[in-house]
Amino acid sequence: MLKTKIAVLVSGGGTNLQALLDAQKSGILKSGKIELVISNKEGAYALERAKKCNVKTLVLPSKELGKSFESELVKALDENQIELIILAGFMKILSADFTSRYDKRILNVHPSLIPSFCGEGFYGLKVHEAALSYGVKVTGATVHYVNEIPDGGEIILQKAVKILKTDTPETLQRRVMEQAEWKILPKATEIASKKIAKEKK
């Protein structure tokens, strides 16, 4: 079976990208191959992680590119024949035009159990701050397809993480990554890759 060609979009340190690269190495991700890592910020450490694994990298600085960012992104994805896009700590909202072009071909990992603490304005530590201030006993992570509504696409996988009385937003963020995000993102990527690979037959 031909492997699904994957691009990972990043903005920062790339811990979720690392989880995907490790999953590819260990065979958890076997129906897809990470062909390209694109950062919308210069100097994102995620690019170093990709280079260490001999994965092609590209920087498309969204601030400088402004309105032409998405057309440049589409060009790069087309040139590399990308079939599946993973948003792994990608801190930019994509337009409805872009997401509809790649229907059921974009995955995102969000650090809460959707529909809690999601949508516009909920990203990074803000999600964990909201969970703690609300007093929920359980949080977690969700991998979903991306559509025109922030965090509004169909859910693929979720994993719960218990909140401890001693938690701060920072400790909770770390545990949600370790116990949920890094586990379900590779699994969901495999599910989506397998689906696309089967369609190609």
Active-site positions read 110
> What would the two tokens of residue 84 be?
């599946």
Angle between helices 169-176 and 125-134 (to 10 degrees): 110
**CB contact at 8 A, 12 and 89:** yes
Distances (CA, A) of 48 to 10, 51, 99, 181: 12, 5, 27, 21
Please report, in angstroms and rounded to a whole number, the separation of the first and last CA atoms in the chain: 8
**Residue among 3, 4, 11, 8 nearest 19 (CA):** 8
